[in-house]
Amino acid sequence: MAKKWGQRLRKWVAAKMDLPQDVMMDLPRITMIGQIHIYVENHRGLLAFTDRELRLLLKKGQLLIKGKAFVIKTILPEEILLEGKIDQVIYIQEDAGGSK
């Protein structure tokens, strides 16, 4: 119950202060330029990387990016810029119990 109340309060504050919901809700911000660049902000860490796959930990779940010829151009504690041919961007949601 308290968790839902907290979410409602964050949404209300974001609306009243005209703040982006990704900031208030602790959501990732994903910016893609065509199929060649993807920039992800507000992630919790790099879980796996190959030239065909990138997996990021999020506050709730994971982000899986699939494609070809991947190169990490920039990596910071909560930001990553990936370059290559992006074929799929998949959000993997996890329950409260930790399962997918």
pLDDT reading at 79 higher than 70: yes
Classify residue 9: in a domain, yes or no. Answer: no
User: By percentage, how much of the chain surpasses pLDDT 90?
Assistant: 63
pLDDT reading at 66 higher than 90: yes
Render pLDDT for 19-52 as a digit per residue (tens, 0 to 9). 555 555 578 999 999 999 999 999 999 999 999 9
Classify residue 8: in a domain, yes or no. Answer: no
CATH code: domain of residue 42: 2.60.40.2000
Classify residue 6: in a domain, yes or no. Answer: no
| DSSP labels, the chain | -HHHHHHHHHHHHHHHHT--HHHHTT--EEEEETTTEEEEES--EEEEE-SSEEEEEETTEEEEEEEEEEEEEEEETTEEEEEEEEEEEEEE---TTS--
Classify residue 21: in a domain, yes or no. Answer: no
Classify residue 5: in a domain, yes or no. Answer: no
Classify residue 53: in a domain, yes or no. Answer: yes
Classify residue 19: in a domain, yes or no. Answer: no
Residue 42: per-residue pLDDT: 92
Give the predicted TM-score (pTM) of the model: 0.73
Expressed as residue numbers, the domain containing 55 is 28-92
* Domains identified in the chain, total number: 1
